Amino acid sequence: MGVIKKVTIRDVAREAGVSVTLVSFVMNAKMGKDGRLDCPVNPVTAERVLQVAKRLGYRRNNAAASLRSGRSNSIGVIVSDIANPFFAEICRHLEKIAFEDGYTVIFSSSEENPQKLIRLVDTMVGYNVEGLIMAPCLGAETALARVSSVGIPTVLIDRDFPGDEFGRVLVDNVDAGKVAARYLIHQGFGKIEMISYKMGVTSLVDREDGYSKAMEEAGLKDDIKIHKISYEADAAKKEIIEIFRDAAKRGVEAFILPTKKIAMYGFNAMNVLGLNMPKDFSFVCFDESDLYVLNKPAVPHILQPLSEIADKSYELLQKMMSGKASDEEKTVALKSKLVLGSRFGAEPTEASF
């Protein structure tokens, strides 16, 4: 069997009877919203070139094209876990607005592993992405230094790290922790505890801080207790069961569960131990779940502005890529909201404390 010859841009130009430059214009053009190619070529000629390229089996070398032009029309997004509903919703929205703007998004997950994050950053550099949106894990210093050294504009979301060169779109998590605790205090609870992860990402540390401050302000400093669990699911489930078993004996009245995963582990522990809400414990959870509103009574929860995080981070990244972001514009602070829940399908009730 003979070797199949790779079809080149010169083959397309020869077959179509046009110049290599004209073929390049056509193959590198973006599709406009009207369905026509955005390039300085007669539409009839452009269509002929596309048909010849398709018939010959020509494939554009995106890597080579981006190196020649300095543009890849792509951005990278690195989160801790793309399967996490919090990040999945942000990624879904980012992909939509980037696509409408003519960009391709390359998604990946660090799995909270700093060594994997370094490899992912190197991969993004290799793909010549024009910008990065990243939720850095603990130990991300080396990866962020790599990003900075090659000059890729980068916006941090959900977690913060030092560095004036980075943009930031962050939720005020101290306030979120305060609001969660204040709601439970307002309900008359005094023995309120919190469950968080051992890994200490900045968003959770801030929520812990907000909880502690609200408890202190209410004169409940001696009742502050933050349980730290493993990030790995099987271990976390077992640890929360033991936390709840002990808390029931100590007369704990309520818990703040500051991530959706921790909340799910919490509901699992309630089932395993035969406990009931609100007879045994009351909760304030985070993020959005049908379980919160289907539960009777509905579970109060803190909603983060996921679509706004996506919108603002993409908008800021575009400004940074064009060199138009001022120092003041490079930090965006957003607020979450407390939702008291409702019957499934009805409008939730918002509240502030």
pTM, full prediction = 0.72
Question: Is it true that domain 72-171+307-336 has CATH number 3.40.50.2300?
Answer: yes
Residue 351 CA, distance from chain mean position: 25
CA distance 94 to 82: 13
Q: Give start-end residues of each CATH 3.40.50.2300 domain in the chain.
A: 72-171+307-336, 173-303+340-351
SS3 104: strand
Chain-centroid distance of CA 31 in Å reads 28
The encoded tokens of residue 353 equal: 């404390």
pLDDT at site 25:
79
Higher pLDDT, 247 or 352: 247
Residue 262 has pLDDT above 90, yes or no: yes
Structure confidence at residue 65 (pLDDT): 54
> Residue 346 pLDDT more than 50?
no
Q: Rounded to whole angstroms, how far apart are CA atoms 168 and 171?
A: 10
Q: Please, what CATH class does the domain formed by 173-303+340-351 belong to?
A: alpha beta
Give the pLDDT band (50/70/90) at residue 82: confident
Candidate from 264-268, 269-273, 346-350 with smallest mean pLDDT? 346-350
Q: At what angle do helices 173-186 and 202-217 cross, to 10 degrees?
A: 40
Q: Using one digit for the tens of pLDDT, what is the confidence trace for 164-195?
A: 999 999 999 999 999 999 999 999 999 999 99
> How much is the mean pLDDT over the chain?
87
* pLDDT digits 0-9 by tens, 43-73: 888 889 888 888 887 776 655 555 454 556 8
Asked if pLDDT for residue 304 goes beyond 80, the answer is yes
Positive or negative torsion for Cα 16, 19, 20, 25: negative
CATH 1.10.260.40 spans which residues of the chain? 9-60
Task: Identify the pLDDT of residue 3.
Answer: 46
Burial class, 28, CB count within 10 angstroms (exposed 0-12 / middle 13-18 / buried 19+): middle
CATH architecture of 9-60: Orthogonal Bundle (1.10)
Structure confidence at residue 319 as a pLDDT band (50, 70, 90)? very high
Q: Residue type for 236, please?
A: A
Contacts of 196 (CB under 8 A, 6+ apart): 204, 207, 208, 226, 227, 228, 229, 258, 262
As a whole number, mean pLDDT of residues 87-95 equals: 93
Q: Is 101:131 a contact under the CB 8 Å cutoff?
A: no
Q: In what order do the strands lie in the sheet with 254-257?
A: 226-229, 192-197, 254-257, 282-286, 301-303, 337-339, 350-351
User: What percentage of the chain reaches a pLDDT higher than 90?
Assistant: 53
- Of 199, 257, 266, 261, nearest in space to 239 by CA: 266
